[in-house]
Structures are given as structure tokens and as C-alpha cells.
Structure 1
Amino acid sequence: MELKRVVVTGLGALTPIGNTVQEYWEGLINGKSGAAPITYFDATNFKTKFACEVKNFKVEDFIDRKEARKMDRYAQYAVVASDEAVKDAGFDFETLDKDRIGVIWGSGIGGLETFQEEVINWANGNGTPKFNPFFIPKMIADIAGGHISMKYGLRGPNFTTVSACASSTNAMIDAFNYIRLGMADAIVTGGSEAAVTIAGMGGFNAMHALSTRNDDPTTASRPMDKDRDGFVLGEGAGALVLEELEHAKARGAKIYCEIGGGGMSADAHHITAPHPEGLGARNVMINCLRDAGLKPTDVDGVNMHGTSTPLGDIAESKAILDVFGEHAYTLNINSTKSMTGHLLGAAGAIETIASILSIVHGIVPPTINHFTDDDNIDPKLNFTFNAAQKRDMKVVMSNTFGFGGHNACVLVKKFEA
């Protein structure tokens, strides 16, 4: 069968450096850091006392207060970002077949804050199990997609992908495949996360994953820098409307770009550490290029997973050299996590949005906070350090890798009729 073409017609973002797509993009190209001392709880006794929180966000500005109380923050973020994307797409649901519009969402953790609060309340009680009746539906990782579908009455494919930090990239790849196989006309996809909590910070600190640069949070996320010491935890959501090309054209939709392909692989190596030679990262990029029917030399840029961990950045840099060879030195490579922190299951969505906008505007966001080269990383690679660079971007790949060895890569390209 002939595969259908899939385009992006709507974008939505709620991030630590901007609460709309426009604010997010301005934050990116200006090298804005979203890291700051934690405000959600008293972090005095924590090893890491800072994170990339969403700022100046009042849920009642977007969702009825009574309904918002039934949602964990990760689901609230999902609904707000998806609403921006749906409005941006210009959907008139009265004229569309909602049986053929779905929601495929990603979240690595789901309602962690809800789980934490309910267990703490039980532990502080008299031992009688008095749980909030909304405990389970607020906590489960699939509920965000449910809320989005119910808001608009979307009755197409609806499920959630969970693959740690690759979750929203897997969601986008699934949405892409459902549409190009003719199983849906459009899908709202992306991911959300809200793990800046006592349990989230404490858990990641316990495994020595987070930066502890408490004296200077804004420079703590420093991918590829010799002195990086872990990632900075972030939160928020990214949403995209993926649509079959002819369906989009028929309703006169604006088109941001085309989804070219998606790749997946596994490290099969360790529960948290990447393969030291970047084997899974190499394979996922090769698989993505193969799916898109493109050569390495067709690619202009790579938005790295680039978390600012000692092992991960080295392994991914090796993988890029393995895949692209000499062409690697002509790429614009960047890690927007240097600004947003690591949004875990939502990372793939907001980073794909950054990749799309680099094509739309011809500007590559920087990798900020680079001070010292790492001898284990090839200094001739262009990591777009510290300042945005203008470039005509036609094809960009975005990598996401998750605990458990889950790897996912999505390729976006300039739309050509």
C-alpha cells in the first residue's frame, strides 16, 4: 500500500522558559535558562535544591477550578499545551470526522505528585486507608490523553506510550504511523511531565543523576562541557497536531513541516547507563534515516538527547560520528536541555517543536553553558555553543533516550508540495 504523507499543522508548549510556543521559541534563541531554586517544596535538605519549573502558571486561567482538582499537574500541563496546538491547527470540529481524530500521548512517570501526596497523607494518618476517590484516575499515566480526547470529543486512536525519557517521541512516531497507514486523519500527540516533587527530586538524587551545582543553577545544565555533573530536572508539556497531508490541504491548514520518519532501538545494556559506544543511539538514528528514505548527508541538524550527564553525552557524540562520518562536522548539533532542563517523558515533544521551528525560522537554538571542552568529545563537532546560529535548515533529527535502554528518534523536514 502507498503510505500517506504526514504534516504538522499545530503546536503547543508549556515549558520552564515560556508558557506558549512563541515564548518558548524566544527563550530558546536567546539562550534563556529555566533553572532556579525550587519553589514547590522546601528543598533545604536535598542534595539538589533547584530545578526547571514552569513559571507564572495559574491553572484556573485555562481549566475550571473544579475540573483542575481532578487532574495531576502533568495532566493539567497536557490539556493546556494541547489546547494551544488544537487552536493553532484551526480545527473546526463541527465539520470534521472526530471518529478519525485521535490522541496519542507520552509520559514517563505520570501523576507522581498525586501518588506522593496520597501516600504521605495515609502515612500521617491513623493507618485507616482513606484515599481520595480521584487518586487512581489522577495518577495513572494514560489519563492525560483521556482528558484531551474528552475535551474535544475525539474518538480516534487513544493511548499513552511509556518509555521513560523517550515516551513522547514514541508517541509521535506511533501517531505518524497510524496516520500514514490510513488509520486516522489527524492525531494530537506529544507528552507531559511534572516530576519536580519530593519523590522525583529525592529519587533522582539517590541515583546520582542530577546536577548539584546549587551555587549557580542557571549554568548547571551544561551538555558536552568537561565539568558537567548531571541533568537538571524539568517539567511541562509539548503538543503537536499531526495530520494527513490531503486532509490538511482540504481544510486549508497551514503546514509547519513534514514528518519524514521515525526510528526506535534498544541498548540492551544497563537499566540507566547508555551503551558506552553509543550502539543503541547509533542504531536508532540509522533506523530513522532508513524509515525516511534519506542519506546521512541529507541531514542539516541533530537535536541531541544531550542531558549533561558524564556518560550520556560522550556515547551520543560517538554515535553521531559513527552515523554521519565526515558529514558530522557540517551538522548543527544542539541540546536545548541546556535551557529547559530535562522534561523526561515530555522532552521529545518540546525538542521536536524546537527542531520544527529551526526549520521554519532558519535559526538553530544554542547549547548554552559551555565553558570547557571535554577531551572525550570531538571538538570539531559544531554543538552550536552559547549562541544561536542562522542556517537554512531542511532536515533535522531529534533524539531521545530513556532509562531501560529505550531509544527513539524522529526526523522532520521542510514541507515541499
Structure 2
Amino acid sequence: MENGRPEAYITGIGVVSPVGVGRKDFWSSLLANKSGAGPISLFDPDGFDVRIAAECNDFEPTDFMDRKVAARTDRFAQIGLASSKLALEDGDAWDTLNNDPERVGLILGSGIGGVTSMETTQATIDSKGPTRVNPFSVTKIMPNSAAAHVGIQLGVQGPSITGALACTCGTDMMALGFDLIRRGDADMVLCGASEASITPVIVAGFIAMRAMSRRNDDPEGACRPYDSNHSGFLIGEGCAMMLLESAESVERRGAEPYARITGVGRSTDAHNLTDPDPKGRGILRAMRLAVKASGLEEDQIDYINPHGTGTVAGDGPESQAMAQINPNAMVSATKSTLGHSLGASGAIETAICALALKEKTVPPMRNLDSLADGCADLDYVVNEPRDAPDLKAALCANLGVGGHNAAVVLERA
């Protein structure tokens, strides 16, 4: 603890993303403003009004698991297992896990879970009948299957939690990991969220909701947070897993942290199933709760990585809420680069905040040419990364379908 307040240190980061696999490739691509957007290849989108997405094209499951495990695992769980291995490697924590597995916890959430396997199982029933269903169908579909595979393959024996909270899931999983550390339930927690939902049913459903950008001829320009031409989100996929550790564990291992989590906040809009509160009261409350828990003042938040999906309903209220936290904070909405990975997005964006604090550099956002009506005129970091030698505190905030809100405050370690 610092000044009597709890904290959890981030000492390892593992990422599978549309712009790179592994922390180094991911971060360098972000700083280079490389877009992960392109045509959908995970299924045939012919006839769909939206035919673009941000896919993890560089991910190969058998780089991280044998073929038998891969065959029995949904894509979201494959990505989760790979990211967990990358985080352990990045944090040089294999020995700690092997020597004391009961003191290592696991939190791996997903907004939707094994939807690819759900859809392929239904297709098998329709085309070949129920007797031809894969015997691993249920264990591929269940939302906790990613956590189950990580636990089995890596030998994690501490507390294990899976959560599903739509687009707020990844942020809330970081909060749950923080809770395990501050309560002393674990010395180290593998923590994050995974999503692989670029499937016919999910894409068609979001099209029907009119939530997605239809810029099929311009995938890289499709997601436009806070821009006057914002027209909906770009669906993505991916995972970030982080090692969270107590101060005692960090000292014992001699680990070098990226950042520390010092505050979390949660709230519910109680307004609408799909649209956020039009005045941004829910997300503002979550952010304020996180800042208050950290012990900081709101004007000490230097950088915000927001939800920033590029939707008309969300961009204005969220940006106005950020303006009330700190109108001078730097803002970069990285879904413009990575797409919206639904339940995984908050975990990925927490990792971005941690890397920004460590490297004292704010990664850029794309596609903000002219500010939309109703959006706050903030210090948006666009197209080029920005050196930030005085960067000390960052805030990751997300909104979820259903009116869920979550925020995490990170500080320089």
C-alpha cells in the first residue's frame, strides 16, 4: 500500500490483437498508427451490409498449444491461453507459478464466450443431425472455458473467476483482479478478458441494431470516435492478460512493474438496454469513483483511454463526462485502430494505459478530422504518438450494453 491505499502492480503483459501478437509487436504497431481493420475473412460475409472487421490475422493457435488442445478449444479460449502464456513470459513468472500455484489466481472474462463453437454446432445439427455433434461442443461454448484451459494447461490453482459484462467486461475483470490482490487472496493474478465474436450471428445482430459502421470501402477509416462522420463501431477481436502482483510479491521477485492499479469504480445507468445515459451520468460516476478510490484529484488524471466506439449515441455523453474529470487530459480512443473487441476491450485498453505510463508515451487514435456536434473539445492525440515525460496517472473507462460502466485508475510504478 501507498499512503494506506491498496494497489496492484502490473508486471507482465500478454496481448493477441489485430495489430500484433505479443507486447512488443502490439505496442510498436500502436505507436506507428497501424490499423487492424480489413475485410472479414473468418466467415463469408457475402450478403451482409457490413463486411469489415479487425481480425487477429497474425495469430496461429499451434504456436501456443498442440493441435489436440487447439481442436478442443474455441477461438476465444485459444486467444486467452496464448495471451496468458505471453503474460507469464513477459513477467518472467513461470517459476513463481510452478513453485506456488495455489497463490496464483486467474480472472479471464468474456462478453460472449464460445459463440463460434455455438454457431458451428448448430450448423452441424442442421446439416448432419444431432448425433454428429462434436463431444467437446459444450466445453468449447461455455464462457469459462478459456479460464478452464488456462488453469489446466498452465497449472494455476488459486482463485479462478470468469465474468461476462458485455463491453465493460475487461475493465471489470481488472477490478476483480485488483480485489483479489488487495484482499490477500493471491500474491499474483493472471487477469484479463478475451473475445472472438466475429461470427455471422453476432455481426448480423449488430447490423440489425444499426450499431456498426458500414464503410466497407474504407475499413481503416470506419471507426471514427468523436468525429463528425462517426457512423458506428468496427467489430474486432483479441485478448489482453496481465500479471497483477502485490507489493510484497514484486519486492520478493525483484520484478519491474509497468504500472500499478490504485482505484476502480463501477456504476449502472439504469437507462436503456443499448444506448448509454444521454447525459453520461453513469460513466462519469464510475470514473469519479475510481479516481476517488485512488486518492488522486481528478485534475491529476493525465491520460484517458476511453470507450470511444464511434457511435453517435455514445461519443457525446462520454466525451462530456471526460471533460468533467479533467478537460486538459490527453485522450486517445484506440478502438479506432484495434476495432471494438467487445468484452476484451477494457483489458486491452488497461494494458495500453500501463504501457503508456511505462514508456511515457501516449499512443495515437485515428480518424478524428473534425469534432462532432455534442462532443467535448478535449486534447485528443491523433495520428502521431505524443511524448509525455510527466505522465503519472491514466484512466481506462468503458461502457457496456445494458448500462454497465467500469473504470480503472493506473499510476506510474
TM-score band, normalised by the shorter chain?
Answer: over 0.9
Unaligned runs of 5+ residues in structure 1 are none
Q: How does 1:315-354 map to 2 (within 5 A)?
A: 315-324=317-326, 328=327, 330-354=328-352
Q: Distance in 2 between matches of 1:31 and 1:211?
A: 20
Kept after mapping to 2: 8 A contact 1:261/1:292:
yes
Q: How does 1:221-370 map to 2 (within 5 A)?
A: 221-324=223-326, 328=327, 330-370=328-368
Q: Distance in 1 between matches of 2:157 and 2:6?
A: 21
Q: How does 1:199-210 map to 2 (within 5 A)?
A: 199-210=201-212
How far apart are residue 93 of structure 1 and its match?
A: 3.6
Q: Distance in 2 between matches of 1:163 and 1:5?
A: 23
Q: Which moved more, 1:40-49 or 1:272-281?
A: 40-49
Q: Go from structure 1 to structure 2 and tell me whether the alpha carbon gap of 1:30 and 1:94 turns closer, same or farther (over 3 Å shift).
A: closer
1:354-397 CA-to-partner distances (Å, cap 9, x unmatched) read 11111111111111111222121133x11112221111211000
How far apart are residue 121 of structure 1 and its match?
A: 1.3
Amino acid at match of 2:370: T
How far apart are residue 349 of structure 1 and its match?
A: 1.0
Q: How does 1:61-140 map to 2 (within 5 A)?
A: 61-91=63-93, 92-93=95-96, 96-126=99-129, 128-140=130-142
Q: Distance in 1 between matches of 2:338 and 2:38?
A: 11
1:388 aligns with 2:388: no
Unaligned runs of 5+ residues in structure 2 are none
How far apart are residue 129 of structure 1 and its match?
A: 4.9
Q: Distance in 2 between matches of 1:222 and 1:151?
A: 39
Select which of 17, 25, 39 maps to 1:37. Answer: 39
Instruction: Give 3-state SS (helix, strand or coil) of 2:128's partner.
Output: coil
1:64-103 CA-to-partner distances (Å, cap 9, x unmatched) read 0011111000000000011000111112147632111110
Amino acid at match of 2:151: S
1:198 aligns with 2:200: yes
Q: Distance in 1 between matches of 2:35 and 2:98?
A: 42
Kept after mapping to 2: 8 A contact 1:265/1:406:
yes
Q: Distance in 2 between matches of 1:57 and 1:159?
A: 25
Instruction: Give 3-state SS (helix, strand or coil) of 1:11's partner.
Output: strand
TM-score after normalising by structure 2: 0.96
Q: Distance in 2 between matches of 1:172 and 1:362?
A: 22
Equivalent residue number for residue 410 of structure 1: 408
Q: Distance in 2 between matches of 1:281 and 1:59?
A: 36
1:215-254 CA-to-partner distances (Å, cap 9, x unmatched) read 1111001101011110000001101000011112111112
1:148-177 CA-to-partner distances (Å, cap 9, x unmatched) read 111221111101011001111111101101
TM-score after normalising by structure 1: 0.95
1:233-281 CA-to-partner distances (Å, cap 9, x unmatched) read 0001101000011112111112111111111001110001000000101
1:192-226 CA-to-partner distances (Å, cap 9, x unmatched) read 10001111211111111110001111100110101
Q: Which moved more, 1:142-151 or 1:266-275?
A: 142-151
How far apart are residue 57 of structure 1 and its match?
A: 2.1
Q: How does 1:145-164 map to 2 (within 5 A)?
A: 145-164=147-166
Root mean square deviation of aligned Cα: 1.4
How far apart are residue 147 of structure 1 and its match?
A: 1.1
Count the aligned residue pairs: 409
Question: Identity, % of aligned pairs?
Answer: 37
